[in-house]
């Protein structure tokens, strides 16, 4: 359901408004109220993080939230103050009032306007997709680091004292806080702990309880009843919201930023880098949160429009005493889980926040600062996403480096630079990961198809087939020719490059391939390419490489998988055959013909083969499917091969059935099919390598019939695998194959009439 005013046809507005009121208004209003109840104390606390009056957090939760909802695309995204954004604002602005002799509030308004303008331009220029290139590890690392900073910065507030030097760096704040511990105000500490424990434990009783609001109400009530906020308390007096800046029950929010016309050059320049960092962080947060909720709601998002919404929210907010905001994960999740249906839910939350100011301003003035600090410390702990930490840790060294590099940067660098460090690491490691084309080798099977082997692990052959995948831009192509040369052997006569899965091929790659072709030609080795798609064809034509290789050696991609590879292989072997004939014509030698029966003359190329790392479940399925498509239903062994295609073991159908049925007992005779299937499935995860036979002979095609018969008798092998020189399967010799050889040795003609007895 769209907003009632979100269409271009104003005549349909009354009808759509009636439909909205009838179907969605109640759910949106309820969800908005739930968000406001939970978000009001959060908004005040987040303003405290930024070093601003708590009421500014409420203004941001009203104006920025409503404007972002009107112009955005997500039905559930709730924009407003966020912890990480507020921490960056503090880092950017805390030292500037003394440096430029300007009010902190005016500096924040200028920063908010610049941030919104940058976000608005991102959306207008349709740069929404750029966020996809920033690793999720950057967000996780930055948020965790910001959480640590927030907790450390709020220690002084929950302990009830001020730091004299106003340190900015993490280590300095932590050291000064430890030094000032003897000044702890235990009344403030008690109020902060009450709030923190309420936020932690009340949801365990009932998740519907607004824990933050209840915790602040309890602690604020205690402080008011016992008069801990009164001046008579002396050194034991606690600070309340009224001491920072009183909240008045008015909506006189409009304030034109004094620094906007004209903007001071030096201050604007200094804020510029920070505004870019703040804009990027805000967009990443908003996009990530909106995407996460959309994956559950099924909504299709327009990120360019979402960026415009975030930008407009911050631009307009800078004229209404707001600081920069972004999408809030907690408030957005509450909006969705509370039944919010349209963007009006966020607007309703802004409306309820406005009523809070009008009706409860006098009460909010007595909220203890320590209570807000207790709430923030709990929130800071939740910012360290342990689940995603584990996922990122297990995702590889690049993800770990981005995560901990970003988190470490937040603790030692200004936060605006920490964001750029994370983004820089993310992009550099992305380029490093993609800066290398994936090379493997394809070896044709004797029956049909290909084995894909690790690069440089294929057996020596006259024809070398290299499968190239991945990106082949300038960084990836730099050392490509040297890598390709590593697959050559003294036997190599033709190199086939399969290039179907290549992307981002440019002029550098063409120059490298041309050099590779030249060096091959000097060695009297031919180059054949296959899998050439239209885009690559254009690049090869423009660079002249297509003409240099020759049209007879180029095979274009086809809808049939490996069609062009098979054609190029036929071309390569025809080249090898032509060279062989030329050599035989010049060098004739007497050769004694071998008429004896060898394994190569009687073996069958049809082999059931499988990787040795699989489970019984997969092997059973493979054999079952193969048996459906062959005429002979005789049991055939499954030969296992390692990652390099070498013969590893033999897996018989009998060993599979023995393992699957090892728990069956005589009394299981009456089991139904479903019950029997459940018992058999208990062993599906058994590794086939653990039940296979590994003491297999590596018999080659030159083995004589006598050797085959001897192996069959001594090694108890019904079917003998035949391997090449590298130990890779070439075929197999079964009992019928050996019987044919025996018949030939006995000079037995099966069509000759047998003598009658």
User: In this model, does residue 630 exceed pLDDT 90?
Assistant: no
Tokens representing 644 are: 């390099």
- As a whole number of angstroms, the distance between CA 678 and CA 672 comes to 10
- The answer to whether 286 and 77 are in contact (CB under 8 A) is yes
Using pLDDT thresholds of 50, 70 and 90, give the confidence band for residue 325.
Answer: very high
**Half-sphere exposure (Cβ direction) of 176: Cα atoms closer than 13 Å:** 17
Q: Give the residue carrying structure tokens 């080795």.
A: 525
Tokens representing 3 are: 């907003």
Share of the chain above pLDDT 90, in %: 20
Question: For residue 587, what pLDDT is reported?
Answer: 64
- 376-400 b/e (C-beta count within 10 Å ≥ 16 → b): bbbbbeebbbeebbeebeebeebbb
Question: For residue 379, what pLDDT is reported?
Answer: 84
Tokens representing 209 are: 């309880």
Question: For residue 3, what pLDDT is reported?
Answer: 46
Q: Report the relative pairing of strands 463-471 and 438-444 from DSSP bridges.
A: antiparallel
DSSP 329-369: HHHHHHHHHTT--STHHHHHHHHHHHHHHHHHHHHHTT-BH
Q: What is the mean pLDDT of residues 160-185?
A: 81
DSSP H/E element including 502? strand 494-503
Q: Which of 196, 207, 198 is nearest to 337 (CA)?
A: 207
Tokens representing 491 are: 């036997």
- Domain ranges within the chain, ordered by starting residue: 23-426, 438-581, 599-663+676-745
What phi and psi, each to the nearest 5 degrees, are found at residue 399?
Answer: -65, -40
Compute how many other C-beta atoms are within 10 angstroms of the C-beta atom of residue 166: 13
Instruction: Quote helix, strand, coil % in the chain, to nearest 5.
Output: 60, 10, 30
Digit-coded pLDDT (tens) for 695-725: 888 888 888 888 888 888 888 888 889 888 8
DSSP at 236: G
- As a whole number of angstroms, the distance between CA 470 and CA 457 comes to 20
pTM over 0.75, yes/no: no
Question: For residue 168, what pLDDT is reported?
Answer: 65
CA distances from 6 to 10, 21, 346 (A): 9, 15, 15
Superfamily of chain region 438-581: STAS domain (3.30.750.24)
CA distances from 673 to 668, 676, 677, 678, 680 (A): 11, 5, 6, 9, 10
Question: For residue 13, what pLDDT is reported?
Answer: 61
Q: What is the mean pLDDT of residues 152-163?
A: 86
Using pLDDT thresholds of 50, 70 and 90, give the confidence band for residue 281.
Answer: confident
What phi and psi, each to the nearest 5 degrees, are found at residue 678?
Answer: -65, -40
Digit-coded pLDDT (tens) for 440-493: 888 887 667 788 888 877 888 899 998 888 766 555 555 666 777 788 888 899
Higher pLDDT, 105 or 669: 105
User: In this model, does residue 650 exceed pLDDT 60?
Assistant: yes
User: In this model, does residue 62 exceed pLDDT 60?
Assistant: yes
Q: Which of 129, 115, 139 is nearest to 422 (CA)?
A: 139
Q: Report the relative pairing of strands 609-611 and 554-556 from DSSP bridges.
A: unpaired
- For 599-663+676-745, CATH gives 3.10.580.10
Digit-coded pLDDT (tens) for 4-40: 444 445 566 677 777 888 788 888 998 899 889 878 8
- As a whole number of angstroms, the distance between CA 551 and CA 141 comes to 52
Quote the mean pLDDT of the chain: 83
β partners of residue 470: 502
User: In this model, does residue 435 exceed pLDDT 80?
Assistant: no
Digit-coded pLDDT (tens) for 75-91: 999 999 998 899 899 98
CA distances from 522 to 525, 687, 723 (A): 7, 49, 34
Q: Report the relative pairing of strands 450-454 and 438-444 from DSSP bridges.
A: antiparallel
Question: For residue 348, what pLDDT is reported?
Answer: 95
User: In this model, does residue 755 exceed pLDDT 80?
Assistant: no
């Amino acid at each position: 359901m769209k907003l009632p005013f979100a269409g271009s046809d104003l005549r349909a507005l009354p009808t759509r408004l009636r439909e909205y009121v009838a179907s969605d208004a109640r759910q949106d209003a309820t969800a908005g109220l739930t968000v406001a109840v939970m978000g009001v104390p959060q908004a005040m606390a987040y303003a405290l993080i930024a070093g601003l009056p708590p009421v500014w957090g409420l203004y941001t939760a009203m104006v920025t939230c409503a404007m972002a909802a009107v112009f955005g695309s997500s039905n559930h995204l709730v924009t407003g103050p966020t912890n990480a954004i507020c921490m960056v604002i503090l880092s950017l602005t805390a030292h500037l009032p003394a440096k430029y002799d300007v009010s902190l509030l005016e500096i924040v308004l200028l920063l908010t306007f610049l941030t919104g303008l940058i976000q608005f331009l991102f959306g207008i220029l349709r740069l929404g997709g750029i966020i996809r290139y920033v690793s999720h590890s950057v967000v996780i690392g930055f948020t965790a680091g910001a959480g640590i900073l927030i907790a450390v910065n709020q220690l002084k507030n929950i302990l009830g004292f001020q730091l004299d030097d106003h340190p900015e760096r993490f280590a300095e704040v932590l050291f000064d806080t430890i030094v000032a511990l003897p000044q702890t105000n235990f009344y403030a500490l008690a109020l902060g702990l009450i709030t923190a424990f309420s936020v932690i434990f009340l949801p365990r009783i009932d998740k519907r309880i607004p824990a933050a609001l209840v915790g602040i109400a309890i602690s604020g009530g205690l402080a008011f009843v016992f008069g801990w906020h009164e001046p008579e308390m002396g050194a034991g007096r606690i600070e309340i919201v009224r001491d920072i800046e009183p909240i008045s029950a008015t909506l006189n929010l409009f304030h034109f930023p004094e620094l906007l016309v004209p903007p001071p050059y030096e201050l604007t320049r200094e804020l510029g880098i920070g505004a870019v960092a703040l804009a990027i962080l805000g967009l990443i947060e908003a996009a990530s949160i909106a995407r996460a909720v959309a994956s559950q709601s099924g909504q299709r998002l327009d990120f360019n429009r979402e960026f415009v919404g975030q930008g407009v929210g911050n631009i307009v907010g800078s004229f209404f005493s707001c600081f920069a905001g972004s999408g809030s994960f907690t408030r957005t999740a509450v909006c969705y889980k509370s039944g919010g249906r349209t963007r009006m839910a966020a607007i309703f939350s802004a409306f309820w926040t406005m009523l809070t100011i009008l009706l409860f301003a006098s009460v909010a003035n007595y909220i203890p600062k320590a209570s807000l600090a207790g709430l923030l410390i709990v929130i800071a702990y939740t910012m360290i996403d342990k689940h995603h930490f584990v996922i990122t840790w297990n995702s590889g060294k690049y993800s770990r480096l981005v995560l901990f590099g970003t988190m470490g940067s937040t603790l030692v660098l200004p936060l605006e630079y920490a964001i750029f460090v994370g983004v820089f690491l993310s992009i550099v490691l992305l380029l490093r990961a993609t800066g290398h084309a994936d090379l493997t080798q394809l070896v044709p099977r004797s029956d049909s198809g290909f084995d894909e082997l690790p690069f440089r692990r294929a057996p020596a052959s006259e024809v070398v087939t290299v499968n190239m995948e991945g990106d082949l831009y300038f960084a990836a192509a730099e050392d490509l020719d040297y890598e390709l040369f590593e697959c050559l052997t003294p036997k190599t006569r033709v190199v086939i490059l399969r290039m179907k899965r290549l992307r981002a091929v440019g002029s550098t790659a063409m120059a490298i391939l041309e050099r590779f072709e030249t060096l091959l030609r000097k060695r009297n080795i031919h180059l054949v390419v296959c899998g050439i798609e239209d885009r690559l064809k254009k690049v090869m034509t423009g660079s002249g490489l297509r003409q240099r290789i020759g049209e007879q050696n180029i095979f274009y991609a086809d809808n049939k998988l490996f069609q062009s590879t098979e054609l190029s292989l036929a071309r390569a072997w025809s080249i090898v055959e032509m060279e062989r004939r030329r050599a035989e014509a010049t060098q004739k030698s007497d050769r004694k013909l071998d008429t004896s029966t060898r394994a190569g003359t009687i073996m069958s190329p049809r082999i059931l083969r499988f990787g040795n790392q699989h489970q019984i479940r997969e092997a059973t399925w493979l054999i079952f499917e193969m048996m459906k498509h062959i005429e002979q239903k005789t049991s055939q062994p499954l030969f296992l091969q390692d990652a390099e295609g070498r013969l590893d073991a033999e897996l018989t159908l009998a060993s599979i059935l023995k393992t699957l049925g090892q728990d069956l007992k005589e009394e299981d005779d009456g089991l139904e099919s479903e019950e029997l299937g459940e018992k058999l499935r208990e062993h599906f995860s058994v590794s086939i390598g653990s039940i296979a036979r590994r003491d297999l002979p590596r018999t080659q095609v030159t083995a004589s019939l006598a050797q085959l018969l001897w192996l069959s008798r001594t090694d108890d092998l019904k079917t003998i695998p035949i391997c090449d020189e590298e130990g890779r399967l070439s075929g197999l010799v079964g009992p019928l194959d050996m019987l044919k050889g025996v018949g030939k040795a006995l000079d037995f003609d099966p069509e000759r009439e047998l003598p009658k007895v």
